[in-house]
Amino acid sequence: MGRYVVRRLIQAIPVVLGATLLIHAVVFALPGSPAVARAGADGLPPGAAALLREHYRLGEPFLVQYGHYLAGLFRGDLGVTFAGVPVADLMAGRFQVTVNLVVTALVVEAVAGVGLGLYGALRYGGAQDALVLGVTLVLISVPALVTGFVLQLLLGVRLRQAGVGLFPVAGIAEGWRGYLLPGFVLAASSIAYLARLTRAGLLEALRAGYIRTAVAKGLSRRRVVGLHALRNMLIPLITYLGADLGTLMGGTVITETIFNLPGVGRQLADSIHLREQPVIVGTVTFLVLVYILANLVVDLLYAVLDPRIRHE
């Protein structure tokens, strides 16, 4: 198992290099100057702008800038903002908000997605099954931007006007309740995909020979579904949830902006607007590392869920 972990970590190095190279190339190709974007409408004196470009090597060729960043990255340095703040320190103050949001979204996705999938599969061909398919189709089709504003209006503003202030419109001032609406918006499309995956997997499992054998032995329907069919579906479900962690982390850029959450996603959106290259690249690198570690944990869980799987 140890050799497998080391091998996977070595394989992750080209992924990190490719991701950082790509985002560096995209930021480097953007028109305009970060110094001008940072100064806003008032602008900077020519001398100050030149000093800023020299201090942060903004005038050097792309590969030279990328080489300086890699040298710092291998030392554990994610860079320094144009204001002189280490990117790691900047992210540390916002990371907890993003973690709370992503965990909320994962819980909502797992409970709602698996629940809808089971409900539809156990009522296959009926009106309830058609309803589940219709709900998942709506969740897939409607963009998160639209879903967020609609839920803010209906569940945030309208309910609060009616005297029910369960769902805050924005911010985290009201504690865990501030993550409910953004968590659902972030997980909406994932709920649909997970529900359809669960439904299809359960329908396939219920047609298997071992399920017919369990039914012939007189086991109850709940025991057959919960102990036998659902257990054999755990690997694809865990795989999807692990891979979807990266999607959720990336989706925080839109969700945190809509709901005004001071997380890593909102920081990335602001940095793109200001062309804070160190923050953009450092944040994306961090998200890539989280995604790689999540997939490694999922791979290691395979051996726990299915003893037939061995990594060595």
* Mean pLDDT in order along the chain per 10 residues (312 residues): 74 80 77 57 60 66 78 76 75 85 91 88 84 89 84 78 72 77 88 89 76 71 70 78 82 86 85 78 82 78 66 53
Residue 295 lies in a domain: no
Residues 27 and 124 in one domain: no
3-state DSSP call for residue 80?
strand
Residues 155 and 231 in one domain: yes
Query: What is the pLDDT at residue 75?
Result: 78
Residues 48 and 197 in one domain: no
Residues 63 and 100 in one domain: no
Domain final residue, candidates 73, 88, 104: 73
Query: What is the pLDDT at residue 46?
Result: 63
Q: What is the DSSP letter of 262?
A: -
Query: What is the pLDDT at residue 228?
Result: 66
Residues 119 and 211 in one domain: yes
Residues 58 and 102 in one domain: no
Residues 171 and 243 in one domain: yes
Residues 192 and 130 in one domain: yes
Q: What is the CATH number of the domain that holds 255?
A: 1.10.3720.10
Domain final residue, candidates 262, 283, 300: 262
Tokens of residue 53, six digits: 């470009």
Total domain count for the chain?
A: 2
3-state DSSP call for residue 86?
strand
Residues 33 and 162 in one domain: no
Residue 100 lies in a domain: yes
Residues 129 and 247 in one domain: yes
Can you tell me the distance from the alpha carbon of 92 to that of 3, in angstroms, rounded to the nearest whole number? 31
Residues 60 and 116 in one domain: no
Query: What is the pLDDT at residue 305?
Result: 66
Query: What is the pLDDT at residue 206?
Result: 74
Can you tell me the distance from the alpha carbon of 117 to that of 120, in angstroms, rounded to the nearest whole number? 5
Residues 69 and 100 in one domain: no
Question: Which has the closest alpha carbon to 278: 63, 84, 75, 94?
Answer: 84
Expressed as residue numbers, the domain containing 27 is 16-73
Phi-psi region of 218 (alpha: psi -120 to 50; beta: other; left: phi over 0): left
Query: What is the pLDDT at residue 61?
Result: 76
Q: What's the whole-model pTM score?
A: 0.79
Q: What is the DSSP letter of 81?
A: -
Q: What are phi and psi of 80, to 5 degrees?
A: -130, 135
